Amino acid sequence: MTPSRFLVTGGAGYVGSHVVLALLDAGHEVVVFDSLRTGHRAAVPPQVRFVHGDLADLPLLDSVLADGPWDGVLHFAALSLVGESMAQPLMYMSANGALGFNLIDACVRHGVKRFVFSSTAALFGSAGDAPIDENTNIDPGSPYGESKLVVERALYWADKIHGLRSACLRYFNAAGSDPLGRAGEDHRPETHLIPLVIDAALGRRDALTLFGQDYPTPDGSCIRDYIHVSDLAQAHLAVLPLLKERSVTFNVGTGRGASNLEVIRSVERVSGLTVPWNLGARRPGDPASLVASPALLMRETGWRPEYTELDKTVATALAWRQDHPVGYGDE
């Protein structure tokens, strides 16, 4: 791929920071725009220009985009807690939806031609046991999912009317950390299962609560598709060439599911430690199984996940949390 220049919003966050590393590794120039509401300044490599700003600040956003040309914008800046969105739906529709519209509009005005959007499998709600492909019925089960859907629709019209080509990548469960230890997972509070299980094993938190063990799955616990964050990052680079001709939408996962109990057993195998855990009641809205069908992405881009074994993904997450006991530090 020819060296290019990209603006990455939310590039100080978990997925965004790994995409920044992938872009740098491929020889591209990157500028990160982040409010640090949930991201970390230390997650941005020192050679990357960092702009501390919010997408609500239209003059600042215009000044950044005016400093072109840009070969594309990759948009990760968003709130992402499903439970929080159920309590504060309008905050999510504003932070993810309305501010996403701000960015899309600014890209159109400044002549940006390619846009990659961090979407979500939360668009599908309870989709059943079969792997979820791009034709699966969309039925967001939360304001978080809805806030991502409205941005997808805005991008559809931005393409149809203004020619802004976009890729909507519907992530399943991002997991793991950069294998070279340059970036990792540091949510505050942490809500993702793998780091919670690891912290329980390391004695950094109380016993884990497993929500529900009476689902219609082989071991009774929920099943999810865990895609290594570095594989996810490579998917963003893989779709860029397609945007010279058309907009695309892809589901991004491994095509394999792992249950909550399997995650616990994986952490125990990799760490050699025992995970203390308790059984709790189901959480409202948790589907029994969410597994991607990434066949379309593979077929159209040649992308393939390297981390197809859960233990290998867990090993990178464990290494990060052992080497960074306080994440990116006290900020």
- Does the annotation mark 144 as catalytic? yes
Number of Cβ atoms within 10 Å of the Cβ of 137: 10
Pairing of strands 223-224, 258-259: antiparallel
Return the percent helix, strand and coil in the chain, to nearest 5: 40, 20, 40
Total residue length of the chain? 331
Q: Which amino acid is at 130?
A: A
Strands (E), 19-130: 29-34, 49-52, 72-75, 114-120
The whole-angstrom separation of Cα 261 and Cα 258 is 8
Q: Which residues pair with 6 in a beta bridge?
A: 30, 72
The closest of 98, 188, 112 to 147, measured between CA atoms, is: 98
Q: Is the peptide bond before 189 cis (omega within 30 degrees of 0)?
A: yes
Which one is catalytic: 14, 92, 144, 307?
144
CA 38 to chain CA mean position, Å = 13
Catalytic positions are: 144
